[in-house]
Amino acid sequence: MNKKLKTLFIVAMLMALMAMTVASFETNNNEINEEPNSVRGTSRFLLQRSSKATVTCDKNPKVCDSTNCCNNKCVELSTDELNCGRCGKKCGHSKMCCEGKCVIPMTNEKHCGKCGNKCDSKSSCVYGMCSYA
């Protein structure tokens, strides 16, 4: 009876080890294909990329469906603060990109507080709110 119990224990341990290995493999596979948030604490093995050829928008602009290709990245020129209206046009401090133009949302009547928030004719945009007072 004792021998059967030992055999059952070994089989259970092997099954648990196999389940952990499969889960670890799936996690590592996902980490290899995704951009790591930080290099600190990540092993070189996890930082290696898969051998698949990556399609980039600088060589094939059709990769960016409805967006534009800037510096090898697909960006939306109407809202991207680093590429506002055209590639490389950065919006300054306290500005945001709305409809491809850098605006100050704290005072802009058409984009008060956020893009597309238009104040009516009776109010003005103050501190990012229509009719503040």
Confidence (pLDDT) at 3: 80
Give the tens place of pLDDT for each residue, 56-80. Answer: 777 776 778 778 888 888 888 898 8
Measure the CA–CA gap between 56 and 51, rounded to whole angstroms: 15
- Is 1 part of any domain? no
- Is 112 part of any domain? yes
Q: In the structure, what pLDDT confidence band is assigned to residue 25 with cuts at 50, 70 and 90?
A: low
Provide mean pLDDT across the span 31-54.
50
Backbone conformation region of residue 36, classed left if phi is above 0, alpha if psi is from -120 to 50, else beta: beta
Number of domains composing the chain: 1
- Domain span at residue 95? 56-133
Is the CA virtual torsion 41, 54, 64, 74 positive or negative? positive
- Is 9 part of any domain? no
Q: What is the pTM of this model?
A: 0.51
- Is 37 part of any domain? no
Give the tens place of pLDDT for each residue, 74-108. Answer: 888 898 889 999 999 999 888 999 999 999 999 99
- Is 77 part of any domain? yes
Confidence (pLDDT) at 101: 93
